[in-house]
Amino acid sequence: MNFDAGRKALDLDEPSSAASGAAVTARIVAEARGGYVIEAAEQEYPAGLSGRFRHQAAGKSERPVVGDEVEVELSGTTAVIHACRPRRTVLARRAAGGGEIPQVIAANIDRVFVTMGLDGDFNLRRLERFLVGARRGGAEAVVLLNKSDLVAPAELERRRQAAAAVTAGVPVYVVTTRTETGLDPVRALLLPEQLVCFIGSSGVGKSSIINGLLGDDVIRHQAVRENDQRGRHTTTCRQMYRLPSGTLVIDTPGMREFGLWAQTGAVDDLFPEIRTLADECFFRDCSHQHEPRCAVRRALEDGVLSAERYASFMKLHRESRVIAAKVDLTDKLMLKKQEKALHRQYRRYPHRRF
């Protein structure tokens, strides 16, 4: 009897010791309420956070997101996520409701396509906001102006030029998915193994653009298939797709608001003409509001600098100043926690190369 009990205990221990050997680096390809899907060695597994990692990554911004590289333990058909590797780039916004934490939308993105409609959605101030947010995290940005078939040619050209004037050199592409016009130059930007992401307000046609690039309606297929499998509506928040070119695409839901999570430097980068003017201000820490001999205000009064552009700069600057200290602190904490978690992994799997 006693012997049997001993054998039972041994059997219970075995699966975990076998699983310990199957530690691998994986990528998060989908994130749904309460869980993840990871891809390791071209296989997909449903995955959850280990208890310890869940506890350590207490803040939402430290939890893995789509695009993250994670250390996982495979056990049969599922996986447990133990640690998140440091991120090369992040796409983050201020959490909805004016929270003081960033909401990380995706990680390790190479290029962000900031998408805007040329119709009623067209808004240069919103474009500036998205661009500051997109570039702040280290990814390259591209602007896509969609629905070119909905505006008259003269107005289309006026809007294209107006957009190009506020992007600080970020390339602007005009496309329409309805007639599949302008998509070829965009396709040329989609390099194999690069991770790209489309952001923009809801209704700008991000999914149609992705479908256009995919060459068929894969996104719709995916949603339908998920419905079939689970017998309920899909709860997937963010999901990664592989284009025929080998590029990985993350589809994000439309964003009604894009709260800035950026330092002032990221704002300055998008307003190079104001940065140049600011060099001529009498005071080095000029706020460009009330100070005497302010070159920015002078340019504004002379009509050299547009009132809209100035107002947008001041607004984004104000927002970024409020959170600047927190951005710094959060980034440092995130990095520290990620490094700590990795070190624990090194100790746990000393013979494995991470």
Binding site for Zn ion (CB under 5 A): 281, 286, 288, 294, 296
Q: How far is the CB of 164 from Zn ion (least distance, A)?
A: 26
Q: How far is the CB of 286 from Zn ion (least distance, A)?
A: 3
Nearer to Zn ion, 297 or 337 (CB): 297
Location of structure tokens 């797709």: 241
For residue 132, what are the contacts with CB-CB under 8 A and spacing of at least 6?
260, 262, 266, 267, 269, 270, 316, 320
Nearer to Zn ion, 72 or 274 (CB): 274
Nearer to Zn ion, 136 or 288 (CB): 288
Query: For residue 30, what are the β-bridge partners?
Result: 37, 239
Q: What whole-number distance in Å separates Cα of residue 185 and Cα of residue 148?
A: 15
Nearer to Zn ion, 288 or 317 (CB): 288
Structure tokens at 175: 């496309």
Nearer to Zn ion, 238 or 288 (CB): 288
Q: How far is the CB of 140 from Zn ion (least distance, A)?
A: 30
Q: How far is the CB of 178 from Zn ion (least distance, A)?
A: 46
CB 89 within 8 A of CB 173: no
The amino acid at 112 = V
Nearer to Zn ion, 260 or 281 (CB): 281
Q: How far is the CB of 302 from Zn ion (least distance, A)?
A: 14
Q: How far is the CB of 155 from Zn ion (least distance, A)?
A: 35
Nearer to Zn ion, 82 or 297 (CB): 297
Nearer to Zn ion, 207 or 287 (CB): 287
Q: How far is the CB of 260 from Zn ion (least distance, A)?
A: 21
CB 83 within 8 A of CB 338: yes
Q: How far is the CB of 298 from Zn ion (least distance, A)?
A: 9
CB 168 within 8 A of CB 269: yes
Length of the chain: 354
Q: How far is the CB of 288 from Zn ion (least distance, A)?
A: 4
Nearer to Zn ion, 37 or 295 (CB): 295
